[in-house]
Structure 1
Amino acid sequence: MKVLVIDHLFADEIGSRLRADFPNIDVVTALDSQSAQGEVAACDVIMSLGMNADETLFAQARNLKWVQSLGAGVDKFQSLAALDNLELLTNAKGIHGPQIAEMTILYMISLLRDFPALVRQQDAKNWRRFPGRKLQGRSITIWGLGTIGEEIARICHAFGMTVSAVTRTPRDHPFIDRYYLPGDLAEAASVADFLLAVAPATAENVGRLNADIFQAMRPDSYLINVGRGSLVVEPDLIAALKTGSIAGAALDVASAEPLPPENPLWDMPNTILTPHISGMIEEYPEQVYPIVKTNMAHFLAGRIDQMINRIDPVKPITGSTH
């Protein structure tokens, strides 16, 4: 059996661990889709992040039996026509909460303190003092209450924030003050200093953050997106930022990644852009490998029903989530 691990940072480390734990399988690694071209045809298993979900690459994988996403998102894999007949897709959900929660706090404090302006002042050797605003007492609406959203709620509560959540399944939670159903997203956005998008890119979620939502938000409020770029109608967001309908945004994801240099978001002083790194930490192999190892052991033993984080059905019933 041949396994291909694709990742520009951690492929070799994950591959080395697989070889040590499963010496009877052939493990090859690649930094990206381009360098994987010569290896993919004979692969039974591919392990990769969604950013490497390349149609041309996966169309060559005619022996493919299982895709293990090395991240939580699987929408890019689900959108590939080459994987229409794939029977086994798993992901790495449940491990990203701590680092994405910390980045969310960083985004909020940076926006309230205008930290980008401070960095620009340092670059210009300009000593200018100006007041910031504190996080304590602010409010946040979290759209998407999985393990990441719950961890963000816990930390925001510790900062003395009021926490609302948008979810289909309200439940008793010690750190959430109020719930809204998905159909009430505009109302939920209107009451918060921060609207945080951490929802998955399902068909019903794609494009939900549009002009109607931005008009419902207060002019002193902010959007933070650590979910998927496709959740946002980007021209509507750009218009809201330009006109002052909202105060600013922090975006870890975008409609196109990498974000093209001509995109207006690059030049907006009220916008913080990061290159899809909120879940990326040096310790990531230690986080993800237990899932990889467990699933590989079950896969080799034929215990498919015991594999962790199976996506069932592999393709969304409602259609593409690309």
Structure 2
Amino acid sequence: MGGGPAKERMLITLPMKEPTELVERLRSKFPHIDITFKNVSYTKDKAQHESEIPSDIWHDITLLFTLSALPPSPASCPHLSLISLYSAGSNHISSHPLYTSTSIPITTSSGIHGPQIAEWVIMTSLIHSHKYKTLYELQKSHRWGKKDTSSDYHSVRDMVGLRLGVLGYGSIGRQVARVGQAMGMDVLAYTASPKPTPEKKKDLGFIVPGTGDPDGSIPSAWYSGLDKASLHDFLKRDIDVLLISVPLTEQTKHFLSTEEFKILSQDGKRPAFVSNIARGQIVDQAALIAALKDGTLSGAALDVTDPEPLPEDSELWDLENVIVTPHISGVGQAYTDRAFQVVETNLERRERGEGLINVVRRERGY
């Protein structure tokens, strides 16, 4: 009797060939869950996803693990009780009725990207500070270079004693802070809400073992707020490298523009380096280009732009003090395995009646 499915049913919809070992690991650990894997298109076209997944599958599932393929409406998945996202963010589904009109828990894969993104941040920062673009051009032209201090690659400033400002102290920011501190940098943290106690400073999400800042002990100071006055107070703190790692929300769209770049770099007297691995729209891109061209900023490393892909005629491509990569800082061979680890952790916690990790708080947008 009753209207629900006889057992738990999980649907995994990802744009890849089935990772058999990982799926079998879940089946072995949770034999009471009937798991189906569907290789779907890597697309934002909802109609395409709907054509790839029959309506009867949506109707019976209780658990969904996906990147962006969602049931067309809440009515099409009446038994769905948990949505696990393959991505670190949820902004790409924030207009879907399952997000806006239900209270079904949504979790993300936040926490799995810290190691590879931190390496990208440090790599691009060193490319800038060690003048590697110039050195690479010398190598391509088979030239040894000049043995005099007038060459720009003789004016290297190491990271020791520099100040790293982490705008968004989540899992990614914490791992960048860990590596930055190991290189001798002082770290300042910025979060949306205050973290006045040791308990509030803890990272309660998924943590790759041996990484990050689990107890929040690395920053020498914490700042917080979503208002401009609080942001400006943070940017005034003699920051040499600013990492942008906040989620994109209505409050953070164009969070950084002309005024913020001037405050950060003291009107160009102390040009800072900006690294953006979050979302392109957090930065006013026209203002960023102007600041990079007039010396307000010393340079930028951009894994995200506005729009994406970056148009061929964008000035950013040809600015000598800019490094552009095609939104790849988070990719890595361990990505899928770690994303499955997050799902596995939450299924375990769910069975024990414990709270889930990486739960999206819809009221704040992430």
User: Taking structure 1 as the reference length, what is the TM-score of the superposition?
Assistant: 0.82
**Which residue matches 2:357?**
308
2:185 corresponds to 1:161: yes
Q: Work out whether residues 166 and 173 of structure 2, in 8 Å CA contact, stay in contact via their aligned partners in 1.
A: yes
User: 1 CA distance for matches of 2:246 and 2:184?
Assistant: 23
**Which residue matches 1:29?**
39
CA-based RMSD: 3.1
User: 2 CA distance for matches of 1:107 and 1:2?
Assistant: 40
SS at match of 2:139: helix
* Closer, same or farther: CA 186–298 of 1 in aligned 2, 3 Å: closer
Q: Work out whether residues 12 and 29 of structure 1, in 8 Å CA contact, stay in contact via their aligned partners in 2.
A: no
* Closer, same or farther: CA 240–9 of 1 in aligned 2, 3 Å: farther
SS at match of 2:51: coil
Give runs of aligned pairs for residues 274-293 of structure 1, distance below 5 A.
274-293=325-344
Distance apart, 1:279 and its partner CA: 2.2
User: 1 CA distance for matches of 2:124 and 2:183?
Assistant: 14
**Which residue matches 1:3?**
11
Give runs of aligned pairs for residues 203-222 of structure 1, distance below 5 A.
203-218=250-265, 219=268, 220-222=271-273
**Mean CA deviation greater in 225-234 or 96-105:** 96-105
**Which residue matches 2:219?**
176
User: 2 CA distance for matches of 1:82 and 1:127?
Assistant: 60
User: 1 CA distance for matches of 2:188 and 2:166?
Assistant: 6
Q: Work out whether residues 276 and 301 of structure 2, in 8 Å CA contact, stay in contact via their aligned partners in 1.
A: yes
* Closer, same or farther: CA 63–71 of 1 in aligned 2, 3 Å: same
**Mean CA deviation greater in 58-67 or 208-217:** 58-67
User: 2 CA distance for matches of 1:185 and 1:235?
Assistant: 20
* Closer, same or farther: CA 76–166 of 1 in aligned 2, 3 Å: same
Give runs of aligned pairs for residues 1-322 of structure 1, distance below 5 A.
1=9, 3-8=11-16, 14-15=22-23, 17-18=25-26, 24-33=34-43, 36-40=49-53, 41=55, 42-43=57-58, 44=61, 45-49=63-67, 53=68, 59=72, 62-63=76-77, 65=80, 66-80=82-96, 83-86=99-102, 87-129=104-146, 130-131=153-154, 132-167=156-191, 168-171=194-197, 173-182=216-225, 183-190=229-236, 191-218=238-265, 219=268, 220-296=271-347, 306-312=355-361, 315-316=362-363
Q: Which blocks of at least 5 consecutive residues in structure 1 are unaligned?
A: none
SS at match of 1:28: strand
SS at match of 1:247: strand
Q: Deviations over 1:66-122 (max 9, x none)?
A: 431113211222244564334231112233322222222112211111223333333
Aligned amino acid, residue 85 of structure 1? S
Q: Work out whether residues 143 and 197 of structure 1, in 8 Å CA contact, stay in contact via their aligned partners in 2.
A: yes
User: 1 CA distance for matches of 2:295 and 2:16?
Assistant: 38
Aligned amino acid, residue 68 of structure 1? S
Distance apart, 1:27 and its partner CA: 1.7
Distance apart, 1:128 and its partner CA: 2.3
User: Taking structure 2 as the reference length, what is the TM-score of the superposition?
Assistant: 0.73
Aligned amino acid, residue 276 of structure 1? H
Q: Deviations over 1:133-153 (max 9, x none)?
A: 212221111111123222222
Distance apart, 1:305 and its partner CA: 6.3
Q: Which blocks of at least 5 consecutive residues in structure 2 are unaligned?
A: 1-8, 147-152, 199-215
* Closer, same or farther: CA 22–280 of 1 in aligned 2, 3 Å: same
* Closer, same or farther: CA 178–84 of 1 in aligned 2, 3 Å: closer
Q: Work out whether residues 69 and 92 of structure 1, in 8 Å CA contact, stay in contact via their aligned partners in 2.
A: yes
User: 2 CA distance for matches of 1:246 and 1:16?
Assistant: 50
User: 1 CA distance for matches of 2:21 and 2:363?
Assistant: 32
SS at match of 2:297: coil
Aligned amino acid, residue 223 of structure 2? Y
* Closer, same or farther: CA 235–10 of 1 in aligned 2, 3 Å: farther
The structure number with the bigger radius of gyration is 2
Aligned amino acid, residue 263 of structure 1? S
User: 1 CA distance for matches of 2:357 and 2:314?
Assistant: 39
User: 1 CA distance for matches of 2:66 and 2:134?
Assistant: 37
User: 2 CA distance for matches of 1:100 and 1:144?
Assistant: 14
User: 2 CA distance for matches of 1:119 and 1:58?
Assistant: 49
